[in-house]
Structure 1
Amino acid sequence: MSTDFQRAREALGARLRELRTEAHLTHRQLAANLGWAHSKISKLETGKQTASIADLEAWVDATGALEALPELKNSLRRLETHYRSWRRQLAGGHKAVQEAALVEEQQAQTIRVYETSVVPGIFQTPDYARHLFTHSARLRRSPRDVEDAVRARMRRQDALYQPGQKYRVIIWEAALYAMIGGPEVMAGQLDRLGGIIGLSSVSLGVLPFSAALDLTPKHGFWIHDERNVVVENLSAEMELKDSEDIALYLRLWDYYEQVAVHGPAAHRAIARARHTLGS
């Protein structure tokens, strides 16, 4: 269980305890009023058990604090988002993060990916990945285990050649022109990306600049089956498990897939970007 998740659960428990004490109820009195075991009250208040919506509704009813229910529901919803700060994740370097991603991906049969500004790690060349890891470590002042991280990322790519997994990937065309590592690195990366098209385990689409969009490109995200969504920002990685959140991202991914170009058209989009780099 992540430290961030546990702290959020403890914060919710502290708020429940506050409502109980404001109502001048002891553990045993509240448990008796609700028909619960005394131990459940203690576990909820100390963050050792996660409350359900029904638990929260019963709690505010028993403590006469109905006005607190929306706040408590929002707190519970945030619990379903595992907020993993990069500062904590990268305390030991990038290699451990790559190994954790490998475990996550091995547990999924279908992985949907949408990226706006970077080639997904599962398709990256060693040089492209090396440049990203080097400058990420510099920015975040984390341990520089760059070569170990590159090797771990390359091991993730073994799944592309194994039966049983499917990668459905959409890349905004801007990612093909972002000059990561300079022309030589990008040339190798685009050549690699063009070669990915045709693999039986991969469906690769490009969201072109010319597409008429009803929705903006937004941020990148990964969906593992229909089990969770992983979203990154500069300071943290968020894992969304709420069913409504997952459904929202699935609808957005489906929209991007409809607008994106695939097959030969995707290959031509990659070739155009490659051509701008010359020989």
Structure 2
Amino acid sequence: MGTDYQRAREELGRRLRELRVECPDGRLTGVQLAQRLGWQQSKVSKLENGRQTPTDADLRAWAGATGQPAVSAELCARLKGFESQIRSWQRQLAAGHRPVQDTWNTLVAESRTLHMWESSTVSGMLQTADYARNIFERYAEMHRSPRDTEEAVRARMKRQEWLYRPGRQLRLLMWEGVLWARVCPRDVLAAQLDRLLGVVGMGTVHLGIVPLDAALRLPPANAFCVLDDRLAVVEDWHAELWLDDAETIALYRRVWDTFAEAAVFGAEAQQVIARVRRSIKV
């Protein structure tokens, strides 16, 4: 969990403790407040110490139980502010993958330059429909989310129209391990690699491959995307992190630049992709 997120959660916890202590009816102990709310006392403690994220309902109940219902709007606004940085997959995928793809379509449409690092799968900006279909099905199974695979695939394919608009630049770096990852049947992976071979040299795509034997100054960690130096989106198993402070965005650009030093481009990138493609017998 990001430091900024945790700090904001702790600050919200201090505000909750303040409301309990300054209750108009007199100071409440944690046990007394828990009894009023019908909660375990441990929940009160976790919320006040920033070890659990409250819901809007929790905050409204807290404000009411401490005799200060008018502050519920303030508390919910605080929660919304820091939760915008961490978007759990559980919440995002409650209605399936299509809404997430629609959100990304809007983000990308508003951007002119994308700096992306991919260490596990081919970027959605260059996926074939069959490759995307396999990825969505695997994640839907893992997260136990609604199966709307075909709608999600269509939305992802629509996003790729961005590549054909003047003035756009996709600056994509991929770890060579991505090319080898059997996250789909052999024939689907072979077609995906053919797609990558076809975009090398495309005017709006600057594709670099970091070879497996390249000397690295950093480990090939989480995938991320920096959109126009205004937002960095980092993907993890439990959530996407949306980070918009200048210092953090600058950090992710430095990471991208560091991987770029180890990458090969143009004909050399094609050679790496072609070598992997030849290994796949279909």
Q: TM-score, normalised by structure 2?
A: 0.75
> Corresponding residue for 1:56?
none
In 1, the alpha carbon distance for the partners of 2:9 and 2:268 equals 51
Residue in 2 that maps onto 1:195: 198
- Deviating above 4 A after TM superposition, structure 1's stretches of 4 or more consecutive aligned residues are 8-11, 19-22, 42-45
The answer as to whether partners of 1:13 and 1:46 remain within 8 angstroms in 2 is no
For residue 268 of structure 2, what is the aligned residue in structure 1? 265
Tell me by how many angstroms 1:48 deviates. 5.7
- Give the structure 2 partner of residue 275 of structure 1: 278
Q: Give runs of aligned pairs for residues 1-279 of structure 1, distance below 5 A.
A: 12-16=11-15, 18-19=17-18, 46-47=74-75, 79=82, 82-278=85-281
Structure 2 CA distance for aligned equivalents of residues 151 and 21 of structure 1: 50
Query: For the Cα contact (< 8 Å) 2:217–2:258, is it kept in 1?
Result: no
* Paired amino acid for 2:263: A
Distance 1:131 1:18 in 2: 47
Larger CA deviation: 266-275 vs 231-240: 231-240
User: Partner of 1:84: helix, strand, or coil?
Assistant: strand
Distance in 2 between the 1:114 and 1:10 partners? 29
Q: CA deviation at 1:79?
A: 2.8
Deviations 1:210-233 (A, max 9, x none): 211121111111111111111111
In structure 2, what residue type is equivalent to 1:128? Answer: Y
Equivalent pairs counted in the alignment come to: 233
Change in Cα spacing, 1:141 to 1:212, as seen in structure 2 (3 Å) is: same
RMSD: 2.9
1:48/1:148 Cα in 2 relative to 1: closer, same or farther (>3 Å)? closer
Where do 5+ consecutive residues of structure 1 fail to align? Answer: 27-41, 51-74
Query: For residue 64 of structure 1, what is the aligned residue in structure 2?
Result: none
Q: CA deviation at 1:180?
A: 2.1
CA shift, 1:235, in A, is 1.4
For 2:273 and 2:244, the matched residues in 1 are separated by: 34
Partner Cα separation in structure 1 for residue 19 and residue 183 of structure 2: 55
Contact residue 119 and residue 175 of structure 2 kept, 8 A: yes
Distance 1:208 1:175 in 2: 10
For 1:132 and 1:138, how far apart are their aligned partners in 2? 10
Offset at residue 247 of structure 1 (A): 1.2
- 1:135-162 per-position Cα deviation (integer Å, ceiling 9, x unaligned): 2111111110111111111001001111
Q: 1:166–1:201: 8 Å Cα contact kept in structure 2? A: yes
Secondary structure of the residue aligned to 1:121 is: coil
Secondary structure in structure 1 of the residue aligned to 2:75: coil
Shift of 1:243: 1.9
Deviations 1:110-168 (A, max 9, x none): 11100011000010001100111112111111110111111111001001111121110
Alpha carbons of 1:11 and 1:47: their partners in 2 closer, same or farther (altered >3 Å)? farther
- Counterparts of 1:133 and 1:214, CA distance in 2: 32
2 CA distance for matches of 1:251 and 1:81? 24
Render the CA deviation track for 1:171-196: whole Å, top value 9, x for unaligned.
00000000121210000000001111
Q: Is the 8 A contact 1:169 1:202 kept in 2?
A: yes
Tell me how far 1:107 sits from its aligned partner. Answer: 1.2
